Amino acid sequence: MNTDFCIIGGGMVGLSLANQLLEKEIAQSIVIIDKERELGLHSSGLNSGVLHAGIYYEPNTLKAKVCVDGSRRLKQWVKERSLPLNECGKVIVPQDQNLDPQIDLLYERGQANGATVEIWDEKKLKAFLPLCRSASGRALWSPNTAVVKPKTVLNRLEKELREKGVIFRLNQSEWEINALKRLITLNNNEKVSYSHLINCAGLRADEVAYKFDIGLNYKLLPFKGLYWQVKSSSKIKINTNLYPVPDLNVPFLGVHFTPSADEQTLINIGPTATPALGRENYYGLEKIEPLSAANNLLCLLNQYLINEGGFRKYVHQQSLLFLKPLMLKEAKKLLPSITSDDLIFSKKVGIRPQLFNKTTKKLENDFLCLNGKNSTHVMNAISPAFTASFALADFIIENNSKNF
Ligand SMILES: Cc1cc2nc3c(=O)[nH]c(=O)nc-3n(C[C@H](O)[C@H](O)[C@H](O)COP(=O)(O)OP(=O)(O)OC[C@H]3O[C@@H](n4cnc5c(N)ncnc54)[C@H](O)[C@@H]3O)c2cc1C
């Protein structure tokens, strides 16, 4: 089979790239290869479903460039198809008085990035969310944050791409590459010859890039995101996203409350960010990779030892949030009236791959794309890559079109 583009990985990033390559009439033919039997078994199907509004990111970053536009476009796409969408906004509150200045910082970042943001005083916060506590009384309001059902979005995009003629080859865990000949051999010995290959393999993007001798200086480290839930019988009812002011030195947003896109009573709390023992170690001891896990912990050790931005405290705190009393303590900082009886452990779990730079010995905070000859590698599609996927795809296409 000959194809213009071969995309490795059918997550939201891979599918959005396929969609935009067709929209822009850059590709006549596209083949998407995924190792799983169905799509959505990793980040794009397992995430919180929050369409972020573009508040957190430093204005010169790629995240800042694509989040607001991507969020607006994905929301519109979801609306046009009448898929579940909860336009419930987001409240961000400082959980300690000394974090109050972050409200101003986030306000400035939000404005610089083109997001709509408002600072609320205590009266306005209490009127909207009487149960919520802000240590300083102030809050940041983001009216454009929304929630979708991520797997529903992904599956709909897959369906539309199939209708447009995109060819999917699923269940392909053992494909082989001859990069010089631009030829992939699939499990059943089928050959796919391509003009350009785009690696969107999410939590295995580094492994795929290595096959092309690209990105050898990077390694993805898996962090497990566990969730708790507010019981449907609980008196705690909030229909907005409620987030703490994040620690901007670490790549996670802190434990937050996220209502469902369509189930009135479902509120998720989480995700945590615990170093995982394998890239797909979702449950218990399944798919543990002991050597790799030990190596990953060594990578994190440096950041842990230098403790820049309070990394050590963050790791301790995050690693233990699967324990109910500790999760409750975090939750109470935002909703003081929540009790142990309100919480149940959720089966929902996701794994967030974070890109570790072997030279700086730090985690990369921004999206990163690397180019090879006839190949492009999306190496760090962390949050908000789901939200931003259409705009991120356009950015990748515009910046690589001379290589296509
Ligand atoms: C717990 C959690 C919560 C999150 N919350 C949010 C949120 O609220 N909002 C937001 O915007 N983002 C959120 N994110 C981030 C978001 O989910 C990701 O940024 C996004 O889904 C990345 O998409 P992707 O296509 O790059 O990766 P993936 O969805 O992981 O897709 C990669 C695909 O590649 C396939 N693959 C891997 N290796 C190979 C191989 N060797 N050969 C063939 N196929 C391969 C996999 O099977 C998979 O289907 C969250 C992530 C997690 C884990």
User: Using CA atoms, how far apart are residues 301 and 361, in angstroms rounded to an integer?
Assistant: 9
User: Which residue's CA lies nearest to atom 30 of ligand 1?
Assistant: 202
User: Which residue's CA lies nearest to atom 51 of ligand 1?
Assistant: 47
Q: Say if ligand 1 is within 6 A of residue 368 CB.
A: no
Which two three-digit tokens encode residue 392? 């991120």
Which two three-digit tokens encode residue 277? 């023992």
Q: Which helix (H) or strand (E) holds 357?
A: strand 343-357
* 20 touches 390 (CB < 8 A): yes
The closest of 138, 142, 94, 97 to 240, measured between CA atoms, is 142
| In the predicted structure, residue 45 carries a pLDDT above the cut 70 | yes
Q: Say if ligand 1 is within 6 A of residue 74 CB.
A: no
Q: Say if ligand 1 is within 6 A of residue 202 CB.
A: yes
Sign for the pseudo-dihedral over CA of 118, 123, 124, 126: positive
| pLDDT tier at 107, thresholds 50, 70, 90 | very high
Phi and psi at residue 400, to the nearest 5°: -120, 0
For the stretch 268-281, pLDDT in tens is 998 888 888 999 99
**Interior angle at CA 107, CA 105 and CA 108, nearest 5:** 65
| In the predicted structure, residue 302 carries a pLDDT above the cut 80 | no
User: Using CA atoms, how far apart are residues 74 and 386, in angstroms rounded to an integer?
Assistant: 9
Which of 7, 44, 66 to probe ligand 1 with, by most ligand atoms within 8 A of CB?
A: 44
Domains of the chain (ranges, CATH numbers): 1-84+147-217+364-404 (3.50.50.60), 90-143 (no CATH), 219-357 (3.30.9)
297 or 354: which carries more pLDDT confidence?
354
The model's pTM is 0.96
* 316 touches 274 (CB < 8 A): no
User: Using CA atoms, how far apart are residues 383 and 91, in angstroms rounded to an integer?
Assistant: 18
Helices (H) and strands (E) in the chain, counts: 11, 21
* 158 touches 10 (CB < 8 A): yes
Mean pLDDT of 235-247: 92
Q: Calculate how far, in angstroms, residue 66's C-alpha sits from the geometric centre of ligand 1.
A: 17
Amino acid 47: pLDDT: 96
| In the predicted structure, residue 17 carries a pLDDT above the cut 90 | yes
Q: Say if ligand 1 is within 6 A of residue 40 CB.
A: no
Amino acid 395: pLDDT: 97
Q: Say if ligand 1 is within 6 A of residue 35 CB.
A: yes
User: Which residue's CA lies nearest to atom 37 of ligand 1?
Assistant: 201
Q: Say if ligand 1 is within 6 A of residue 392 CB.
A: no
Amino acid 400: pLDDT: 87
Which of 38, 41, 42, 351 to probe ligand 1 with, by most ligand atoms within 8 A of CB?
A: 42
Mean pLDDT of 12-30: 97
Q: Say if ligand 1 is within 6 A of residue 14 CB.
A: yes
Q: Calculate how far, in angstroms, residue 342's C-alpha sits from the geometric centre of ligand 1.
A: 30
In the chain, % of residues over pLDDT 90: 81
Amino acid 148: pLDDT: 98
Q: Say if ligand 1 is within 6 A of residue 52 CB.
A: yes
Q: Say if ligand 1 is within 6 A of residue 31 CB.
A: no
| pLDDT tier at 244, thresholds 50, 70, 90 | very high
| pLDDT tier at 387, thresholds 50, 70, 90 | very high
Amino acid 309: pLDDT: 65
| In the predicted structure, residue 318 carries a pLDDT above the cut 80 | no
Place of tokens 């709909």: 156
Q: Calculate how far, in angstroms, residue 135's C-alpha sits from the geometric centre of ligand 1.
A: 34
Residue 208's SS3 state is helix
